[in-house]
Structure 1
Amino acid sequence: MLQVPFIRENKAAVIAGLARRNFDATTIVNEVLVVDDSRRTLQTDLDNTKAELNALSKEIGDLYKAGKAQEANALKEKTTALKDSDKVLKEQLQVKEDDLKQLLYKIPNVPHPSVPAGNNEADNEEIFNEGEVPKLYEGAEPHWELAKKYDIIDFELGNKISGAGFPVYKGKGARLQRALIAYFLDKNTAAGYTEYQLPLLVNEASCYGTGQLPDKEGQMYHDSRDDLYLIPTAEVPGTNVFRDVLLAESDFPISITGYTPCFRREAGSYGAHVRGLNRLHQFDKVEIIRVEHPENSYEAFDGMIEHVKGILRELKLPYRILRLCGGDTGFPSAMTYDFEVFSTAQDRWLEISSVSNFESYQANRLRLRFKNSAGKNELAHTLNGSSLALPRVLAGILENYQTEKGIVIPEVLVPYTGFSIID
């Protein structure tokens, strides 16, 4: 979340920046400052009360030592009143701090100055395009038909077991899925990312830490009995590894990767554009997460972009990169680039990765700090990206690599699958 001093010192810039998200922040920013003024007044009153209590305690001690018990006892009555006042002020201060935090939770991150204004995905900017779109044979099919034809993914069986959006991978389909996970993890660890196996259920504090709550409340699967959430992405448990951590500057850079299933309710998603693997409630993803010094986070961001590019080049899939506009940028992100693979059979682009720099927004929620060269605590920067999300990568492979004789496996994956064609 944004820091109050930053909002106070940059009020006009914060409001203008959030306007590029189509977020009118005027009212809530003013409310934040009013509540913070009250909080600061209460803090001053509390500090003054504590100082007076400390001074009285010393004076009472001195009086007892001097044998002036009657005068000391008289002052003790005053300390009782001050202690009552101290208790009330603490309670009032806690209420104001909670009110302030709840307001700050509702304010998204301010976009980086280079993020264009815009309403939705139609206003995103294509900044890079690479790879040749293959020319398919006549009668080429979308992946959901190929899945049925070659008996590698069973959507109807998944629907019977769980419901729509929970596919069952079979035979060579399951093997290809496992191959992609292993390949992505190997690429990430070879690039210096440390592999983690992470929990699939997280507590409320973890969801608040990365910004899923309160923004995405109702969009995650929630177990109310234990108050745990199924993760929508490995970003949540992976970034929360560093919650309440004080780092040294020498700890940077920190890079981790992990494979997890991901769970999203995706309420309201209907139609042909979400058919098959295009939109799921459960899917597999390999994530990369970085914790960086603020001075280096955008260099790290560029490095993550190049890393994902390298994977897609090896898979030989046609792709493009979009710089998301303010209206399409995620709630906690300062800047996001989306990678999309072109599906020749569907004649459309499929999002397969988002790489984001959150700057200090998540770190402030997480209380993730480092001790800088001046010996002061400073917020770190956090970044994350999909490397990669499997469903649409798999859809792109099935559709773009299909031939009349079967689906050819990308050369880089053959050592992982143990076969070169699905026929």
Structure 2
Amino acid sequence: CEEAMEQILMGLPNIPHSSVPSGKDSSDNPVLKQVGEHPNIRFKPQPHWSIGSRLNIFDFDRASKIAGARFPLYFGAGARLERALINFMLDVHTTEHGYKEVLPPFIVNRRSMTNTGQLPKFEKDLFKLEGWDYFMIPTAEVPVTNIHQDEILDEDVLPINYTAYTPCFRSEAGSYGKDTKGLIRQHQFNKVELVKFTKPETSYDELEILLSHAETILQYLKLPYQVITLCSGDLGFSAAKTYDIEVWMPAQAVYREISSCSNFESFQARRANIRFRGKGKKGTELVHTLNGSGLAVGRTVAAILENNQQADGSVVIPEVLKSYMGKMEVIKP
């Protein structure tokens, strides 16, 4: 029957682009490039949760009293650093990169979640409002991509570039015990998102531009990072191609994901019915949608604390953030 067929079709992922390397899982993701020098820390680097606790800028014990495990509670310079980063990221993306700022709803309906590919497959990872068919957003990608659902756009307005700050809410049912210390894998976190609507023939050029815009933030903050291409086995459900940016975390001596930049081609546009009309052409075509984190804010705080830690327990504020921090130069114990 038609309904059963619809369910099967809704469970089919996007088709990987021909340039996506084949592989089984994250161990097969090739590193494209590494940027920046690792900091020369002449003592045993502390993890960000220890640094933050000693500086009294976050308190996970009190957060767990208020809400439970895996929620953040920032104080003082920590709260200010998070806010400074949100403002800095939005300012760079709007003034330098030409994105239009959006402040969308943080709760969306089932159709919006289905359009971007979170539903039906990932319902267990979402926070659903009891008694309502509404969901807390797991990323600004969902409300921002759905701005143009059921619309026919003029070719002239493409590409459309939006940036949005939102909190993000994820139950991530299957990830208990995995990277759950500190600010890395929280049920609630802040993120600045970049979303593009493009013509099909330019979408892969736009993916490279999107990636460079996310990288710019890390370059301004002087944080070392690497870019990887996700192989076919690690690619997300809706994406045709994805680059991950991973920031260096000295305490564990690993690179951690801080941004994911993807081209969904027409996968989301087909579900959301987002089309454009070419000049002098009959009929309409599906747009291509892209998005990327520019960046995940809590993870950026974590990276600053670890990379900029000093022997006396203090943390140096990145130069570009000082004006956002009331001229504060160092967070001291």
Residue 311 of structure 1 and its aligned partner are, at CA, apart by 1.3
> Equivalents in 1 of 2:174, 2:9: separation in Å?
28
Q: Does 1:166 align with 2:51?
A: no
Q: Percent identity?
A: 48
Partner of residue 385, structure 1: 292
2:304 aligned residue = 397
Displacement, 1:206? 0.3
- What SS does structure 2 have at the residue aligned with 1:109? coil
Q: Point out the structure with max Rg over C-alpha.
A: 1
Does residue 175 (structure 1) correspond to residue 83 (structure 2)? The answer is no
For the 8 Å contact 1:157–1:167, the answer to whether it is kept is no
Please list every run of 5 or more consecutive structure 2 residues that lacks an aligned counterpart in the other structure: none
Q: Is the Cα contact below 8 Å between 1:137 and 1:403 reproduced in 2?
A: no
| CA deviation vs aligned residue, 1:15-39 (integer Å, no higher than 9, x gap) | xxxxxxxxxxxxxxxxxxxxxxxxx
Tell me, what secondary structure is at the counterpart of 2:124?
Answer: coil
- 1:409 aligns to what? 317
Cα distance between partner residues in 2 of 1:216 and 1:125: 26
Describe how 1:21-420 pairs up with structure 2 within 5 A: 96=2, 98-190=3-95, 191-271=97-177, 273-373=179-279, 374-405=281-312, 406-418=314-326, 419-420=328-329
Q: Distance in 1 between matches of 2:235 and 2:298?
A: 22
User: For residues 119 and 224 of structure 1, what CA distance do their matches in structure 2 show?
Assistant: 37
As a proportion of its length, which structure holds more helix? 1
Partner of 1:229, secondary structure, is: strand
Which letter maps to 1:407? V
The offset of 1:272, in angstroms, is 6.6
Deviations 1:311-356 (A, max 9, x none): 1111100000010011111100000000000101221111000000
Which secondary structure does the structure 1 equivalent of 2:191 belong to?
Answer: strand
1:271 to partner: Cα distance:
3.4
Supply the AA of the counterpart residue of 1:412: V
Give the paired residue count. 328
Partner of residue 421 from structure 1, selected from 322, 330, 333: 330
Are the equivalent residues in 1 in contact too, given 2:70–2:180 (CA < 8 A)?
Answer: no
CA distance in 2, matches of 1:285, 1:180: 10
Q: What is the alpha-carbon distance in structure 2 between the residues aligned to residue 285 and residue 243 of structure 1?
A: 23
- Within 2, Cα distance between the matches of 1:266 and 1:367? 28
Deviations, residues 352-408 of structure 1 (Å, cap 9, x unaligned): 000000000000000000112322111000000000001211111000000023100
Do the aligned partners of 1:343 and 1:349 also contact (CA within 8 Å) in 2? yes
Tell me, what secondary structure is at the counterpart of 1:326?
A: coil
Cα distance in 1 for partners of 2:66, 2:135 equals 21
Rounded Cα–Cα distance in structure 2 between residues aligned with 1:268 and 1:249: 42
1:128-183 Cα shifts (integer Å, max 9, x gaps): 11100001131331111001100001111111100111110100000000000000
Asked if the contact 2:243/2:262 (under 8 Å) is kept, the reply is: yes
Q: SS state of the match for residue 241, structure 1?
A: helix
Q: Name structure 1 gaps, 5 residues minimum.
A: 1-94
SS at match of 1:304: helix
Listed one character per residue, the Cα deviations across residues 187-222 of structure 1 (whole Å, up to 9, x for unaligned) are 110111100111111000000010000121111000
User: Is contact 2:190–2:298 with CA below 8 Å preserved after alignment?
Assistant: yes
Distance 1:345 1:410 in 2: 19
Contact 2:124 2:172 in 1 (8 A): no
Give the whole-Å Cα distance in 2 for the aligned partners of 1:285 and 1:168. 16
The CA distance in 2 between the partners of 1:325 and 1:214, in whole Å, is 23
3-state DSSP of counterpart to 1:320: strand
Q: Distance in 1 between matches of 2:144 and 2:61?
A: 33
- RMSD over aligned Cα, in angstroms? 1.1
The one-character-per-residue Cα deviations of 1:270-295 (angstroms, maximum 9, x if unpaired) are: 33732111111000000000000111
The answer to whether the 8 A contact 2:109-2:133 is kept is: yes
Deviations 1:82-127 (A, max 9, x none): xxxxxxxxxxxxx52x343322111100000011111211111100
- 1:117 and 1:214 map into 2 onto residues whose CA distance is 26
* Structure 2 CA distance for partners of 1:272 and 1:231, relative to 1, 3 Å: closer
